[in-house]
Every structure is written in C-alpha cells, then in structure tokens.
Structure 1
Amino acid sequence: MATAKIAPSMLSSDFANLASEADRMVKCGADWLHMDIMVRHFVPNLTIGAPVIESLRKHSKAYLDCHLMVTNPLDYVEPLGKAGASGFTFHVEVSKDNWRELIERIKAKGMHPGVALKPGTPIEEVFPLVDGGLGPSTIDTAAKAGANCIVAGSSVFGAAEPAEVISFMRSSVEGA
C-alpha cells in the first residue's frame, strides 16, 4: 500500500491569514503545504518567494513543498534553503542542461528535490509523473497510476469541509 502525502496548495489560501490557513490545513490532515513560487518570466503570475517561506516557517513545522515556476531555479536554492523550505520542485523545461547540479545543490541545502512538467511537455522528458488538477473527481486516476504525493489547491480550500477532501484523497491513494 502506498503512503499518501496530501499537500494543499497554499496559492488557494487566504494570503492575509497565511499562518492560520497553514495551521488549519495541518489540523485538517494535510501532510505537506504546497508553496507555488512563480515569476513572470515563466508564467504570468508573481506569487510567493523566500521572504514568505521564511515568515511562514516561523509559524509552522509543516513540510513546505516549494514548486518553482521560474526560469533559473539555481538562483533560488540558497534563499529557499535559508528560508526553511523542505522540498524544492523545479521544471524540467528550464533545467535540462544543469539538472544534476541543481539536484545536488538542493540536497546540499537540506531540501528534497522534485521535478515537474508544464502541460504540453512530452512525458519522455522525465520519469512518468501525474500532475495538476487533483481533487475528489480525479484522484482515483492519479492513484491508480502510482501517484502518492497529491497537491490540491481549490479542491481543498474551496471545499466546505477541507478535512473530508483530504481524507478522501488519502483513502484513494492508500487503497489503489
């Protein structure tokens, strides 16, 4: 049986109450907190950065799973490591030439490396993954494909009972 890791995406949280939202998700059963870090060079949005991670770390012991949608992830290893990030997921599209060095630097800063794909990138670029749009209606497909670390934003934060959604997704992964 796979051990499920459920990671609500804090991008869907109330940023004015980030620490309490983090605490609420942990109390609802979240294993990790997913932190989307975006800059306008890679995607249209500009969101969370190292100062926010550092501030949140002071209020939460939760695993902070940082997903970087940036053009040069090497530039973020040092600041996110110092800020207290737990995981550092980069996109293969911007790291093809230096992914080995990037992974070694991530590990050297005490973080766990991960890789992600943008929609449209051939799956052959990395070991097969399942990513994005996960919630009660799609979790079974992802779980049957072998996914056990589930990132979900609006399906958790938009639910009347986030704890029930987290529990449902965990049960689906563990039952696959």
Structure 2
Amino acid sequence: MSPTIHLAQEPEADDLLGRSPLAALVGMLLDQQVPMEWAFSGPYTIARRMGRDDLDAGEIASYDPDAFAGLLKEKPAVHRYPGSMAKRVQTLCQFLVDEYGGEAEAVWRDAASGDELLTRLKALPGFGEQKAKIFLALLGKQYDVRPTGWRAAAGAYGEQGSYRSAADITGPESLAKVRAHKQEMKRAAKSAKNG
C-alpha cells in the first residue's frame, strides 16, 4: 500500500509521490532554491506534460534533451531554473538506468543498513550529503524504509518529532513548522556571519 504523502500539498501530485519511487527522488532533486511544494509537485507536472500517469526513468533518460527542457520550461515552469534542472533530472534517470535497471526503488530495496543506504543516496547525481540525509529521513519517516541504523545515518533529519525538512511534512501545520525552523536557521547563520 502506498503511503499518504503531503509534500506537494496538492492531491494528484502527492498521490504520485506516494506510489512512484522515481517521483519521490525527482521531487527531492528539484527541492532547492524553490518552495518545497513547488519542487515536489514537479514530478506530477512532468508526468502530465509527457502524457503519462507515472514517470519512467528509461523514457526520461532517452528523451530529447531540448524537448525535455521544453517540458520543464512550459508555463508554469517546473522550477526556477528549468533548463539546468531538466539536465539534472535526465542525468539522475540515466544513472538509475545504468546502475539500477531504471528502478528507483532498487536504490533502497535491499540496503542492509542506514549507512549503506546513505552511501547509495550520496552516489546519486545531484544528491550531496545533506540532500541524501533528508531523503533517507523521508524514506524512514514516511515510506516505511527503515534499514538498521537509518535514523543515525540520517543525522538530525532522522530525529523523531523534529521539523527540519521535507521528511517531516505531513500536512499544512508541519509545513509551517518546517518553514519556521528554516527561517530560524537562516537568521542564526546570518547573525553568526555578521557577529
């Protein structure tokens, strides 16, 4: 059974995130320099513009790059930087095709430990340390993917009852708490820089 996801705050987009491991990965990839809901509604927008009800890594990887960028640039754009994000999405999908037979879920399906899963996530194109830890926490908290030691491997993002990232968003109230936390982190960083 698919988990109930509320990252996009839009029923059709959240439904896709709940049933499509690739959509979840692409949403996480898009989650930078735009509001989270915008990023996580991106996979649904891409699928719709491709005339599909799901995403397929092989199809995206082999899509004409200019045409794929055009899909992301259509109004409303999928991202603030649709051209560069189109390349990143295609690069991620090509990696999944090459390393995991095009199956996003294979990245975590047989991971023996949280550390192993974190290593696999960090190897994904476009996933640095922080993004990998957030996605690991998201898998554990909302997708019931919990290899031994997953919370420790996710660091602070894995903490129960925290409101730090996309991993903690289960509705509008938790989204507001995550936003408040991010604003506080920005204020603290700015204060430290100016202090």
TM-score (normalised: structure 2) = 0.33
Which has the larger share of helix?
2
Which has the larger share of strand?
1
- For the pair shown, the structure with the greater C-alpha radius of gyration is 2
Higher RCO structure (Cα 8 Å, ≥6 apart): 1
